Amino acid sequence: MQYGICNLSIVPLRLEPRDPSEMVTQVLYGEHFKVLEERKKWSKIRLAFDKYEGWIDNKQYLEISEDQYKEFDQASPCLSGDLIEFISCNKDELMPIPLGASLSALDFLKHTYEGHKIANKQPKKHLVETALLYLNTPYLWGGKTNFGIDCSGFTQMVYKLNGYKLLRDASQQATQGEPLSFIEESEPGDLAFFDNEEGAIIHVGIMMKDNYIIHAHGKVRIDRIDHTGIYNAEKRTHTHNLRVIKRII
């Protein structure tokens, strides 16, 4: 088994080993992973944080040892807490990193960082505050940053920045937590899940107070939510069908 770490700011993880293939998620600076299969130009990897799998360009990561993988795996989480910050990677070189990048491997990578760090688990009330940092971020399938994010990448990153683990896809996140019987039982920070006509979970958002929800749909936006689903006041219609609300923490 081989192992790797992302030494660049944002790297696409693709469905198939080729550049035109769909980006299923992104690997952020400092994230480590197992290499499941290595080819000449591409490697299939499994991320340590959420066990998500996909193909990464071999030129866009560094190999690490099993001992280093275990060390990073056991390290206390330390994330960048600014919307955009820079690390010094050589004497005269700077590299931008996004909100939520992992800083646990700075010494290994011989990089320095002087920005705001997040290292402790935060109270549930901070979830909505963090979610608002992503407001108006454009929707991007597979995205996990303020430059583009999808619905489940948004919820995963908000929870991650507060010290909690969510799986990557909305359908996977729907398997976590405890279901609530009524929308009135929800608290800010709970997750609301939405399905399609076939009953498959296809969307997720974060509950706010007073029956509002923040979610990624076109952009990260705030809409009303009721027993039917998400109501878009601009379009005067429901855009998503509510399936269940779950309490993760």
Q: Residues with catalytic annotation?
A: 151, 203, 215
Residue type, 11: V
CA separation for the pair 207, 222 (Å, rounded): 10
Q: How far is CA 61 from CA 9, 28, 171, 203, 221, in A?
A: 11, 11, 28, 31, 33
DSSP label of 138: B
Q: How far apart are CA 224 and CA 109, in angstroms?
A: 45
CB 17 within 8 A of CB 44: yes
Q: Which helix (H) or strand (E) holds 158?
A: helix 151-161
Alpha carbons 199 and 197: distance in angstroms, whole number: 5
Q: Which of 86, 102, 85, 88 is nearest to 49 (CA)?
A: 102
Q: Are strands 62-64 and 2-5 parallel, antiparallel or unpaired?
A: antiparallel
Distance from C-alpha of 79 to C-alpha of 101, rounded to nearest angstrom: 5
Q: For residue 26, which phi and psi values (nearest 5 degrees)?
A: -125, 150
Our measurement of the distance from residue 240's CA atom to the centroid of its chain's CA atoms, rounded to an integer in Å, reads 21
